[in-house]
Amino acid sequence: MTFALIGNSDKSNLQRVAAALIAFATQKGARVIADEDLTEIVRGICETAPPKKLAAACDIAITLGGDGTVMKAAHRVGFLGLPILGINIGTLGFLAEVPVEEMKRAITEVLRGNVDREERTLISARATSGKKIFTANALNEIVIDRRASTRMIRMETYINDKYLNTYVGDGIIVATPTGSTAYSLSAGGPIVSPGSRVFIITSLAPHALTARPFIVPDDDEIRMIVYSEAGSFSLSADGQEGCSLTSPATVILRRSEKAVTFIRRKNITSYDILRAKLLWGKDARAEASKKVFRKK
């Protein structure tokens, strides 16, 4: 088996963890090829390759970092069909769900075939502004926002060509279930089970008290006509790729024909991850009180 290695070079422990991963995988008879971005990190211990060659030559991508690194891997090789296993050397880690302490065990399980594969929906965007056309796929979300301007933008929104609402504010997030625990959650959106076939529309700082998150089936088409008082606005996909568009512009969002596959350890569910990361069932008040009274 051949692993593609993709990592976050901003992490101070990346070089140490990458070296340990490569040594262990090699010991187990596997081959590791690192993303070309890690050339300096793995020099002398591992070969490197650009994304298309990684996707063609490897069986599974392993990420070292947090959820942002998983997003990077999705855009570099996941959209090309390479399954992803996330090792967490970041902070929260909803997608990079394997703790670094469990890295060797997880790799052993992969080599034995004792893992599950879970397919996640992508959202595709097509934006048209005059003669300019921008297209992108996203695993988490498509974001339309006002960029650096202090002026609001207006988004006239239609579902399957039926008028829904005109959102006015800083922007809007259209998220997949995977992205429901990311930017959308920070903006007040709901947590949605990853297997749900829906998209979540969440306003950013809406200029209306009644603008609430709205969920639509993912086989619906979402069309927005976007007007910016400043003359332009931005559209981004997972924070990985994006563009500046001139007002007015039309943005069409649909479920992508592509998908991203994640390698999941058996007997660990998405609900287990939510409980662990969001501390469900934990009494944070009691722990905080203990710390305060210890100081006394």
Give the catalytic positions in this structure: 67
Residue 5: which of 43, 48, 57, 44 has the closest Cα?
48
Task: Report how far residue 288's alpha carbon sits from residue 176's, in angstroms, rounded to the nearest whole number.
Answer: 34
Provide the phi-psi class of 275: left if phi over 0, else alpha when psi is between -120 and 50, else beta. alpha
Residues 17-20: contacts with CB under 8 Å, at least 24 apart: 17/64, 17/87, 17/89, 17/100, 17/103, 18/42, 18/46, 18/64, 19/45, 20/103
- 237 contacts 78 by C-beta, under 8 angstroms: no
Separation in Å, CA 217 to CA 87, 214, 232, 278: 31, 10, 29, 26
Q: How far is CA 182 from the centre of its chain?
A: 8
Tell which residue, 153, 178, 148, has the closest CA to residue 167: 153
Specify the DSSP element, H or E, that contains 105: helix 103-112
Return all residues near 196 (Cβ < 8 A) that are at least 6 apart: 177
The neighbouring-strand residues paired with 224 are: 157, 251
